[in-house]
């Protein structure tokens, strides 16, 4: 008998069309693993209803009445994918040893569950699911996603390319995650900060089971911007450098303006207007940049992120 209890956490927002098939498929995978004695009998799927306005919760209730394999958590209102997922992970963290998160539309296919479990049993604390093949996505989504991952890397944020929120977290990773209390959640940026032995599994991203995406372009852009501003202070540094160069340029132009004045080629009033204008513009931008640097520090401090996690002591 295995003593590893696994929980699958699935945030759902208006997913009544996909829920039955998802519950069926994921449940089947779990039952197979339980039968093969790879995981404990008490392993389960937990659906988190993120304030759905359709029959999602009713469906979840139906499934939970079928036995202990299914569980449900209902949030008081819609809080968004990231927070709904965190709510599921944190409320199930004492109920299982390791938790796998997946989307309700099975775009990250359920047959990966045994791969996650095996990678965990091999000693990995974090297992990242990576979409190797995004041919089921539109060209636009693929392009913007690629640009986003590249931008994040440039900004010095350590994220796993093409990894969304399909991953396994072991008990130590879940403990670590609970210590991040930032309000602007961007889980795929936080998880790599946790460390511990980790691995990746690769799969083909399927098309959505049914229904439509809950991430229209507007939400996608807001999410990407959240990712940038929650993890990088480089844009602030950029303002400072910009200020510095504008200052330099204004001194150079200032020199030339002064020269034309000395030479007597300047129209009266031109020099006295242009010089302060250039100078003040540059100095202002530079000062904004310097303030930005302090702001960046304050921002790092108020996050109260944990500074380290100990893996072993001997």
- Name the site residues for Mg ion (rule: CB under 5 A): 103, 105, 107
Q: Which does 205 bind (CB under 5 to 8 A by kind): ligand UDP, Mg ion, none?
A: none
In the window 182-221, what residues touch ligand UDP (CB under 6 A)? 213-215
Q: Which member of 16, 17, 103, 125 binds ligand UDP (CB under 6 A)?
A: 103
- What secondary structure letter does DSSP report for 53? S
Question: How does strand 70-74 pair with strand 44-49?
Answer: parallel
Residue 18 C-beta: closest distance to Mg ion, Å? 9
12, 88 Cβ separation under 8 angstroms? no
User: Segment near ligand UDP (CB under 6 A), from 39-47, 80-88, 120-128, 267-275?
Assistant: 80-88
Closest residue by Cα to residue 231 from 140, 314, 134, 149: 149
- The first and second tokens of residue 297, run together, are 């520090």
71 or 214: whose CB is closer to ligand UDP? 214
> Would you tell me how many other CB atoms lie within 10 Å of the CB of residue 162?
19
| Longest Cα–Cα distance in the chain | 96
- Contact between 78 and ligand UDP (CB under 6 A)? yes
47 or 282: whose CB is closer to ligand UDP? 47
Residue 174 C-beta: closest distance to Mg ion, Å? 23
Q: Which does 16 bind (CB under 5 to 8 A by kind): ligand UDP, Mg ion, none?
A: none
Closest residue by Cα to residue 207 from 135, 112, 131: 135
177 or 240: whose CB is closer to ligand UDP? 177
Q: Which member of 9, 19, 100, 104 binds ligand UDP (CB under 6 A)?
A: 104
Question: How does strand 44-49 pair with strand 163-169?
Answer: unpaired
Q: Which does 82 bind (CB under 5 to 8 A by kind): Mg ion, ligand UDP, none?
A: none
10, 48 Cβ separation under 8 angstroms? yes
- Contact between 81 and ligand UDP (CB under 6 A)? yes
104 or 236: whose CB is closer to ligand UDP? 104
How many Cα neighbours within 13 Å face the side chain of 190?
A: 26
107 or 198: whose CB is closer to ligand UDP? 107
6, 117 Cβ separation under 8 angstroms? yes
Backbone angles phi, psi at 262, to 5 degrees: -60, -40
Q: Which does 189 bind (CB under 5 to 8 A by kind): ligand UDP, Mg ion, none?
A: none
- The first and second tokens of residue 144, run together, are 């913007």
Which residues lie near ligand UDP (CB under 6 A)? Answer: 11-13, 15, 50, 78, 80-81, 84, 103-105, 107, 213-215
């Amino acid at each position: 008998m295995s003593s590893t209890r696994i929980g699958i956490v699935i945030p759902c927002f208006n997913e009544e069309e996909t829920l039955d098939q998802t519950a069926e498929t994921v449940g089947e995978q779990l039952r197979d693993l339980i039968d093969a004695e790879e995981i404990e009998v008490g392993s389960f799927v937990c659906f988190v209803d993120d304030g759905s306005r359709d029959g999602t919760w009713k469906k979840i209730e139906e499934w939970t009445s079928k036995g202990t394999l299914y569980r449900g958590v209902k949030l008081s209102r819609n809080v968004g994918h990231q927070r709904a997922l965190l709510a599921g992970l944190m409320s199930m963290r004492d109920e299982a040893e390791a938790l796998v998160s997946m989307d309700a539309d099975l775009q990250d296919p359920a047959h990966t569950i045994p791969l996650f479990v095996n990678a965990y049993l091999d000693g990995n604390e974090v297992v990242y699911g990576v979409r190797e093949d995004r041919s089921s996505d539109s060209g636009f989504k693929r392009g913007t996603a690629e640009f986003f991952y590249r931008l994040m890397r440039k900004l010095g944020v350590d994220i796993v390319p093409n990894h969304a929120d399909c991953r396994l977290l072991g008990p130590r990773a879940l403990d670590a995650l609970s210590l991040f209390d930032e309000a602007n959640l961007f889980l795929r940026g936080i998880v790599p900060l946790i460390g511990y032995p980790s691995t990746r599994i690769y799969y083909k991203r399927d098309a959505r089971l049914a229904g439509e995406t809950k991430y229209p372009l507007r939400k996608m852009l807001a999410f990407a911007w959240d990712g940038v501003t929650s993890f990088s202070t480089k844009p602030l540094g950029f303002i400072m450098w910009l200020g510095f160069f504008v200052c330099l340029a204004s001194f150079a132009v200032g020199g030339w303006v002064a020269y034309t004045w000395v030479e007597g080629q300047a129209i009266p009033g031109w020099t006295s207007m242009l010089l302060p204008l250039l100078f003040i513009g540059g100095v202002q931008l530079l000062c904004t940049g310097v303030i930005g640097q302090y702001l960046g520090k304050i921002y790092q401090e108020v996050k109260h992120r944990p500074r380290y996690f100990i893996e072993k002591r001997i």
